[in-house]
Amino acid sequence: MTARIFDRPDLDQQLGQKALYVAGLFPGAEPSAAYEGRLQIKNGIGACQVRQVDGDRLPEGHRLYVDQVTQEVVLAWPAYVSGLAPIVNPGFEAGDSGWIGGPGWKIATENPPTGLWAAGYLNAQGESRISSTSRYSVFPGQVTHAKCQVRQGASSEGNAGASVMLEYRNLAGEVIDSAEGNRVMSASKNRVYDSNVTGVAPAGAATINVAGNGIRYRENKILFVDTFEWDHTVPSAGINYEKLLSLSLLVSDSRGRSYLWKGTVSVVLWDGAWQARTRGSMEWRGVPYAIKYNGAGRLLMGGHDGNIWWSDDKGVTWTRIIQPPDPGTPYYTRSFSYNDRDQVLVACGHYVSRSLDGGLTWARSYTPYDSAWQFVKWIPEWNIFIAVGAGAYTRRILTLNAGGAAPVNKSNTGNYYHVGYNAVHDRAICLPHGSGSYAVCTADPTATAWTYPTSPAGTSINGRYGLASLPNGDVWVSGVDSTTSINGYMVSHDGGLTFGRPVVPSDLPGVPAGYNVAGFVAYDETLRLLVIQPYMSGPGVGSSRQFISRDNGATFQATDIPAPLAGTIMAIPEGIVWSPSAGCFIGSDIDSNPIIYFSRTGLFK
């Protein structure tokens, strides 16, 4: 036997892959209501898996799985019910929601036993299962009965069929045993037959779920399972009380790479009304510039006076944890950023500082003093923080490692006020304020190869009003066109490499006439919303309003924030925090009377 040299695998030229990670936060839940939340998997290779490795016990009937189509981690549970264990989507009328199928399974309408949809088994030989992701606790020896309907189809008797199953899993979610019902291997005159099973939970079983088993020895004609039922019971399914659930989820891909995501799901009941969180006895001096969650459910706030405060009760009361002249503080805090993977918090103000304990204590990441560090951003795709400034002595672009220390790179070019990253184009952008020169770095995890494009002639970018990096690759910023006196939103369709001329807010579909000045622009990754705050500017007019877009800027609609509050919301988006687990906090822009507005349902409905 011979082989040519070019037939061999070229093992010495393997290309590196981008790091696997999970982005986003779970939205809040309401007691007694059904729930579903999603996290986005980034850079996964092949099929991904997820399992809980630490944290609180999730509600009975929860479903934790990966949506392979959207590459999202899904956490869901049913509406609260006592004494039952409901199977989500038992008849597949909601598609494949609540089910994970092996090879050969698809949800189809060709010949369902009942309703319009059923799970079909086709194009596979041997046996393959489709399993419900509705899993309930079980104790050893507990007896459960289940059944499903089977339409064996047009295959000859004995060549193909299906059965109902009960799967028993351990605490890690692995199947340790199963019970199978009678196999329906014939379908005289296209009839539908029941498959029934009785299972007894073995030792070591922690949860139970129903499943269907597809069988094919010969032929390749589709068969269906449908309408699953069982009599399994638990004291209650879902959750009907308020609780903060802490989670540690391990996500892995087909290459064996893994990422540990840590976060919370807050189960709270709220009427959605906006409230003002006044400063009360707090010694605030000036605007609460930066508001951020520290990854442990605590809200952090920094402002003019160098103090850093936190709140454990959704902003009702605040405790000062850092005050000047603490030598480690960022002082005059303008921005927080959080590396949730390594639990590192970085802040910038007069200094760039980091905290490894959620904001309790701080140490300087970069010692040179300057009063103009403006913004810091964690970029998980590149495993770095980027801080930018606009002062006489500031190293204007500063790259820090994942630990928030050890500067990787420093650049003295330009004055910058905001940092963004667009994953579609693998591009970081540093924005000026009142200038047309910005910085761009593409596909360079060390952030050293910066280029410095300029916006269209006569235009300037207002970086202090934020940046929205959208999942379709677009980037939105605020800007001004001096040749036409237009103050509007500038859009890049190539991830921030080039920008179009400003568009008047009222020219955007859904924004009423009169909104002629662009305010902040931001993107809420959890709810996938583009957010803008334009102004009505003119003699005797100075009101603002928030608008959202669910389709990447194609159309907009006004938010539910009452108009009296909407007009006092801070123009700089760093004074806003979206917390899927607790609501939305917004700092006011009235220096003499700083207020934080709050709604537990968030900024948007």
- pLDDT surpassing 50 at residue 252: yes
Q: What is the pLDDT of residue 560?
A: 62
Q: Please determine, for residue 283, whether its predicted confidence score (pLDDT) is greater than 50.
A: no
Residue 244 pLDDT level (bands cut at 50, 70, 90):
confident
| More confident: 434 or 244 | 434
pLDDT confidence tier of residue 332, bands split at 50, 70 and 90 = confident
**Looking at 173-187, 390-404, 410-424, 478-492, which range is the least confident one?**
390-404
**Average pLDDT, stretch 222-230?**
94
CA distances 584 to 79, 159, 276, 541, 599, Å, are 25, 58, 12, 27, 5
pLDDT reported for residue 348: 85
Query: CA–CA separation, 390 vs 461, rounded Å?
Result: 14
In this predicted model, what pLDDT tens digit does every residue of 472-522 receive, in sequence order? 999 999 999 999 999 999 999 999 999 999 999 999 999 999 999 998 888
**Residue recorded with tokens 């280029």:** 451
Lowest mean pLDDT among 151-155, 517-521, 563-567: 563-567
* Residue among 464, 463, 432, 53 at smallest CA distance from 259: 53
User: CA torsion angle for 222, 196, 229, 207 (degrees, to 10)?
Assistant: -100
Mean pLDDT of 561-576: 52
Coil/strand/helix, residue 563: helix
CB 299 within 8 A of CB 311: yes
Residue pointed to by tokens 């672009």: 397
Cα–Cα dist 322/309, whole Å = 7
Q: What is the mean pLDDT of the chain?
A: 82
pLDDT for residue 211 is more than 50: yes
Query: Mean of the pLDDT values across residues 288-301?
Result: 61
User: Would you say residue 542 has pLDDT above 90?
Assistant: no
Mapping DSSP to helix (H, G, I), strand (E, B) and coil, where does residue 188 land? helix
The confidence score (pLDDT) of residue 295 equals 56
Confidence of residue 581 (pLDDT cuts 50, 70, 90): very low
Tell me the one-letter amino acid at 78.
P
- The average pLDDT across 362-367 equals 81
Cα 329 to chain centroid distance, Å, stands at 29
Cβ-based neighbours of 361, under 8 Å, separated by 6 or more: 322, 328, 355
Q: Retrieve residue 294's tokens.
A: 């520290």
Q: Which of 255-259, 301-305, 345-349, 360-364 has the lowest mean pLDDT?
A: 301-305
Residue 323's pLDDT band (cuts 50, 70, 90): low
CA distance 505 to 530: 14
Burial class (CB in 10 A: 0-12, 13-18, 19+), 300: buried
More confident residue, 383 or 366: 383
Kindly provide the b/e burial profile for residues 450-463, where b requires at least 16 CB atoms within 10 angstroms of the residue's own CB. beeeebbeebbbbb
* Token pair for 396: 């204007």
Provide the pLDDT for residue 296: 59
Task: Report the pLDDT value the prediction gives residue 288, as an integer from 0 to 100.
Answer: 46
With 0-12 / 13-18 / 19 or more C-beta atoms within 10 angstroms meaning exposed / middle / buried, residue 393 is exposed
Give Cα separations from 335 to 343, 372, 373, 580 (angstroms).
Answer: 17, 11, 9, 20
| Residue 406 token pair | 């050890």
- When comparing pLDDT for 3 and 154, which is higher? 154
Question: Could you tell me which residue, 432 or 33, shows the higher pLDDT?
Answer: 432
Decide: helix, strand or coil at residue 220. coil
Query: Which is higher by pLDDT, 31 or 126?
Result: 126
**pLDDT for the residue numbered 526:** 60
The token pair at 149 is: 């309907």
The lowest-confidence range among 111-115, 289-293, 302-306, 493-497 is 289-293
Helix or strand or coil: residue 443?
A: coil
Dihedral (CA of 470, 473, 477, 481) sign: negative
* pLDDT score of 413 more than 50: yes
DSSP label of 566: H
* Domains parsed from the chain with CATH numbers: 17-80+243-269 (2.60.40.10), 85-233 (2.60.120.260)
Which pLDDT score, from 0 to 100, does residue 301 have?
A: 75
Binned at pLDDT 50, 70 and 90, residue 176 comes out as very high
pLDDT value for 334: 80
Distance CA 483, CA 486 (A): 8
Per-residue pLDDT at 32? 83
Q: Are 553 and 511 in contact (CB under 8 A)?
A: no
CA 495/CA 428 separation, integer angstroms:
8
Q: Is the pLDDT of residue 404 over 70?
A: yes
Question: Which of 158-162, 226-230, 363-367 bottoms out in mean pLDDT, i.e. has the lowest?
Answer: 363-367
Average pLDDT over residues 331-340: 82
DSSP 25-65: -PPPB-TTS-EEEEEEEES--SS-EEEEEEESPPPBT-EEE
Q: How many CA atoms lie within 13 A of 580 on its CB side?
A: 21
**Distance (Å, rounded) from C-alpha 467 to C-alpha 535?**
17
Asked if residue 14 has pLDDT above 60, the reply is no
Residue 15: predicted pLDDT: 53
Cβ 488 vs Cβ 542: under 8 Å: no
Please check whether residue 376 is in contact with residue 369, taking contact to mean a CB–CB distance below 8 angstroms.
Answer: no
- Could you tell me which residues are beta bridge partners of residue 137? 207
